[in-house]
């Protein structure tokens, strides 16, 4: 898709973080934007800021754990903006787990799978039939994570597990679209190459009431922001580099203009870890944990 002008882009989890940056990056290139989110404060803020830049947009409450909610967003985007050209299944959370995984709350597992995995499945079910039926060039983009897709960081097993599943779903969708000769391009977006400075570590702000844990405030890991992560890492002599969400959005749009599947930017260190993991599998060597640094 060489030109985003006058295209309609739907972004779930679009009111903050990478989703917000995608909305502005696309809007500044002439796209019409449908933002779906559950964070009321962030929704009000982005609606005001999009309007200030005269970007044509709608901002709607959308809970990706509900197929009905996603269908409603698809209907509104089609009716109010004139169609569907790009869909970003971007909504995701971090459960904030810490310690031994056999001691995690079932509510953490449920919440992460509901949003990260079922959110993608529901997005596919809501949007793919419409994109296919249009018969026009379209893109379906899933936000995954290198933590789960191509390496394993054992400090966040729930998140890692959900993102491993997300990438399997994304790659399978890509193969099915190719096999069907369909005009929809599927892409896997990996925010990075460093830790992305978003509100992922503060996901508890949108945790549903029925999955709240009694007596728990914030993340059990003690990391509620990127700054918390930096400070904790510094205590062990590790310096954490970060990537701004705007950089991720710019990288994603460049890739989409080339119809790329892998919307991915890595560092030399990341490439070493990917090769080491592949070698470990091929050589049947005992796994050792990767590090964040």
Q: Choose the catalytic residue: 104, 150, 159, 175.
A: 159
Q: Which residue has the tokens 């990996």?
A: 190
Q: Would residue 159 show up in a list of annotated catalytic residues for this protein?
A: yes
Q: What are phi and psi of 34, to 5 degrees?
A: -115, 110
Signed CA dihedral, 45, 46, 47, 49: sign only = positive
The catalytic residue positions are: 159
């Amino acid at each position: 898709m060489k030109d985003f002008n006058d295209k309609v882009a739907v972004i779930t989890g679009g009111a903050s973080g990478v989703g917000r940056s995608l909305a502005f990056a696309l809007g500044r290139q002439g796209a019409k934007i449908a933002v779906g989110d559950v964070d009321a404060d962030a929704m009000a803020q982005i609606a005001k800021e999009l309007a200030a830049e005269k970007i044509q947009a709608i901002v709607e409450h959308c809970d990706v754990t509900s197929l009905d909610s996603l269908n409603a967003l698809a209907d509104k985007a089609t009716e109010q903006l004139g169609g569907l050209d790009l869909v970003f299944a971007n909504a995701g959370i971090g459960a904030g787990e810490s310690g031994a995984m056999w001691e995690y709350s079932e509510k953490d597992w449920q919440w992460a799978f509901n949003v990260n995995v079922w959110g993608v499945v529901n997005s596919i079910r809501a949007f793919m039939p419409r994109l296919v039926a249009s018969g026009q060039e379209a893109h379906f983009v899933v936000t995954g994570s290198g933590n789960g897709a191509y390496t394993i960081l054992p400090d966040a097993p729930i998140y890692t597990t959900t993102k491993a599943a997300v990438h399997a779903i994304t790659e399978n969708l890509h193969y099915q679209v190719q096999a069907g000769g369909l005009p929809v391009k599927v892409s896997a977006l990996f925010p990075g190459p460093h830790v992305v400075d978003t509100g992922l570590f503060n996901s508890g702000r949108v945790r549903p009431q029925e999955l709240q844990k009694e007596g728990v405030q914030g993340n059990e890991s003690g990391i509620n922001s990127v700054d918390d992560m930096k400070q904790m890492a510094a205590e062990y002599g590790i310096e954490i580099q970060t990537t701004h969400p705007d950089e991720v959005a710019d990288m994603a749009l460049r890739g989409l203009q080339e119809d790329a599947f892998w919307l991915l930017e890595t560092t030399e260190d990341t490439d070493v870890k990917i090769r080491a993991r592949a070698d470990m599998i091929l050589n049947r060597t005992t796994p050792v944990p990767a590090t964040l640094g």
